[in-house]
A and B are shown apart, each in its own frame.
Chain A
């Protein structure tokens, strides 16, 4: 395989992978952002929104 083909395939795979990451992260990040701003506003106490959405990584608060 030539260097040009190698770089072409690398670019294509990376762009497709990134497009997928953007979609997944944008959705998950929006949920996390609401939780973060809600927590800041209540001084660290759980908000109604965060009670409804327990953290998948650390379990319910």
Chain B
């Protein structure tokens, strides 16, 4: 389709990405140890913490899936940023989960599992976390390349594959070289550039279609369900509760990349301030792309070519198609120069998200699975080498998964379900471990195992197991939010039963009864 992306924009993108990689290579020698590589020596203060936290979470993939949610859900999708902001503010205010975690002085959540429940739970929790996390980012490359190709007008299938390969290669060079300090630097640059670019894009998008037209288009396509998130036929109350949990609590207090920021902060006071200030960032990471997606919907209603592609028969097209609605829209309304800046910011955001996630999952595998299983202590040098090898291997997997997995639901819903494989159990284990004395290792193990049932919310997995046909024969269906909420309930039940059957006999160093001793 038509786009305003031109040579000047290509130059801006190339210059920006080149400069970012150079910075990563420059800080390479300044990182001396494992703590520097993973948590930047715990030297991050409030302002930089806020910038990197928002920078890391406001990625290209977030923009793509949130815009899709705005396109397919209308203004009612704005309940997601609303609950995300409120919950993050409450977490900062109360220090719920993140405060005691920082006090525990751990680098990862599974490390806390070991303190509180023993080594086996750490290894099991680490494996589940890495599995869910890698699966969760499995479609990042696809989303990123669809965005790039649609924005630049290179929309052939071959171009998408080449862009995927090029993007992952760039990220791998960068993250293997740099570590956490490089991640912090790019997160900061990306926060400033992308925030400015997206704020300007929002103003231009609303001006180009008009707010009254946005409201009219949402009414035409989605009717009442496009405004009221509780309306039947739209999101519904169960989806809103699911969002309070996933977009709210999980995003800020349970997802390891966010928790890594809490563990990197100088003190618990900094953590709480960081979360309270970042709450507006957690609103914005969903709100801006939601709004742009809604504007793209209004634009599609008024443009016959867009309507034919993205609104066939007056309803939103399939999930892989609607991912491209935002970049096509931006390619047509943004002027040359600005579009290059937005593209460069988006690509930097893509790298920023990838580097944080690759570093996170590979370090979980090494620190929480491989190292505890080995009889001999691993040296810091061995750990760093293994982390770098795993980063490359995970990168290869991402490329294959992005090429082959058939996305049959909105990208955000895919991510919520895959993430739930980890966080349904982790939520119960962390709350049980941090705030109760009775939570036992057996309870924790059962909770983690039960939480992984959330994977049944994935449509292709249901088809592979024949579950969809079985449920259909009873007139039922299992959507992502039902599977996720059920897995949380199952995990809670597992924790209660396991802790009653085999209670805690000798409290470990992370047990609330020994809170004052370790530190």
Interface of chain B residues 154 through 203 with chain A (CB within 8 A): 181, 184-185, 188, 191-192, 195-196, 199, 202
What residues of chain A lie closer than 8 Å to B46, measured between beta carbons? 28, 32, 57
For chain B, the bracket of interface size reads: 35 or more
Q: Is the CB of B75 within 8 A of A18?
A: no
Q: Does B47 lie within 8 Å of A57, measured CB to CB?
A: no
The smallest beta-carbon distance between B347 and chain A, in angstroms, is 19
Q: How far is the CB of A33 from chain B (nearest CB, A)?
A: 6
Is B284 touching A33 in the complex (CB atoms < 8 A)? no
Residues of A within 8 A of B (CB): 2-4, 7-8, 10-11, 14-15, 17-19, 21-22, 24-33, 35-37, 39-41, 43-44, 55, 57-58
Name the residue on B nearest A58 (C-beta).
B266
The 0/1 profile, CB within 8 Å of A marked 1, for residues 324-356 of chain B is 000000000000000000000000000000000
Contact A22/B30 with A10-B78, A33-B185, A37-B181 known, Cβ cut-off 8 Å? no
Q: Does B267 contact A (CB under 8 A)?
A: yes
Contact of A3 with B228 at beta-carbon distance under 8 Å, contacts A40-B27, A44-B41 already known: yes
Q: Are B227 and A4 in contact (CB under 8 A)?
A: yes
Listed in ascending order, the chain B residues whose CB lies under 8 Å from chain A are 27, 30-32, 36, 40-41, 43-52, 54, 75-76, 78, 81-82, 85, 181, 184-185, 188, 191-192, 195-196, 199, 202, 211, 215, 218, 227-228, 266-267, 269-270, 273, 277, 280-281, 283-284, 287-288, 291
| Further 9 A-B residue pairs, CB within 8 A, beyond A4-B215, A57-B46 | A3-B75, A4-B75, A10-B82, A14-B280, A18-B199, A18-B284, A21-B281, A25-B47, A37-B30
Closest 10 CB pairs of A and B: A28-B47, A32-B48, A3-B227, A29-B51, A40-B30, A29-B47, A32-B45, A22-B195, A7-B75, A18-B284
Chain A residues whose C-beta falls within 8 Å of the C-beta of B280 in the assembled complex: 14, 17-18, 21
Q: Please give, as numbers and ranges, the residues of chain A lying within 8 Å of B54 by CB-CB distance.
A: 25
Contact A14 B284 (CB under 8 A): yes
Q: Are A31 and B47 in contact (CB under 8 A)?
A: yes
25 A–B contacts from the bound complex (CB under 8 Å): A3-B76, A3-B228, A4-B215, A11-B291, A15-B284, A15-B288, A21-B280, A21-B281, A22-B192, A22-B196, A25-B47, A25-B51, A25-B191, A25-B277, A27-B47, A28-B47, A33-B185, A36-B43, A36-B45, A40-B27, A40-B36, A40-B40, A40-B43, A55-B266, A57-B45
- Complex Cα spacing A26 to B27, Å: 20
In the complex, which residues of chain B have a beta carbon less than 8 angstroms from the beta carbon of A37?
27, 30, 181, 185
Contact of A14 among B40, B41, B45, B283 (CB under 8 A): B283
**Shortest distance between the CB of B36 and any CB in chain A (Å):** 6
Q: How far is the CB of A60 from chain B (nearest CB, A)?
A: 14
CB of B342 to closest CB in A, whole Å: 15
**B51 and A26 within 8 A (CB):** yes
Q: Is the CB of B81 within 8 A of A14?
A: yes
Chain B residues, Cβ within 8 Å of A17: 280
The answer to whether A22 touches B199 (Cβ under 8 A) is: yes
CB distance from A16 to the nearest CB of B (A): 10
Query: Does the CB pair B40–A36 fall under 8 Å?
Result: yes
Q: In the complex, what residues of A have CB within 8 A of residue B191's CB?
A: 22, 25-26, 29
Roughly how many angstroms separate A15 CA and B191 CA in the complex, as a whole number?
A: 15
Chain A neighbourhood of B31, CB < 8 A = 40
Task: Report chain B residues within 8 Å CB of A36.
Answer: 40, 43-45, 48, 181, 184
Q: A25-B191, A29-B191, A58-B266 are in contact. Are A35 and B284 (CB under 8 A)?
A: no
Q: How far, in angstroms, from A40 to B288 measured CA to CA in the complex?
A: 35
Residues of B within 8 A of A27 (CB): 47
Contacts A14-B283, A40-B36; A32 near B47 (Cβ below 8 A): yes
Give bound CA distance, A8 to B47, whole Å: 29
Measured in the bound complex, the distance between the Cα atoms of B518 and A57 in whole Å is: 24
Are A58 and B184 interface neighbours, CB within 8 A?
A: no
Q: Give chain A residues whose Cβ lies under 8 Å from the Cβ of B51.
A: 25-26, 29
Q: For B78, what are the chain A residues with a Cβ–Cβ distance below 8 Å?
A: 7, 10-11
Q: Are B270 and A57 in contact (CB under 8 A)?
A: yes
In the bound assembly, the distance between CA atoms of A44 and B31 in angstroms comes to 11
* Chain A nearest CB, measured from B86 CB (Å): 11
Q: Given B81, B188, B269, which contacts A57 in the complex, CB threshold below 8 Å?
A: B269
Q: Roughly how many angstroms separate A43 CA and B425 CA in the complex, as a whole number? A: 39
Q: Which residues of A contact B192 (CB under 8 A)?
A: 22, 26
Residues of B within 8 A of A26 (CB): 51, 191-192
- Chain A residues near B48 (CB, 8 Å)? 28-29, 32-33, 36
| CA A11 to CA B211, docked complex, whole Å | 11
In the complex, what distance in Å separates the CA atom of A17 from the CA atom of B82? 14
- Bound-state CA distance A33–B273 (Å) is 18
Chain B nearest CB: distance from A8 CB in Å? 7
The distance from the CB of B281 to the nearest CB of chain A, in whole angstroms, is 7
- Separation of A31 and B45 alpha carbons in the complex (Å): 10
Measured CA separation A43–B85 after assembly (Å): 37
Which of A7, A33, A39 has the most CB atoms of chain B within a 10 A radius of its CB? A7
Inter-chain contacts of B30 with A (CB < 8 A): 37, 40-41
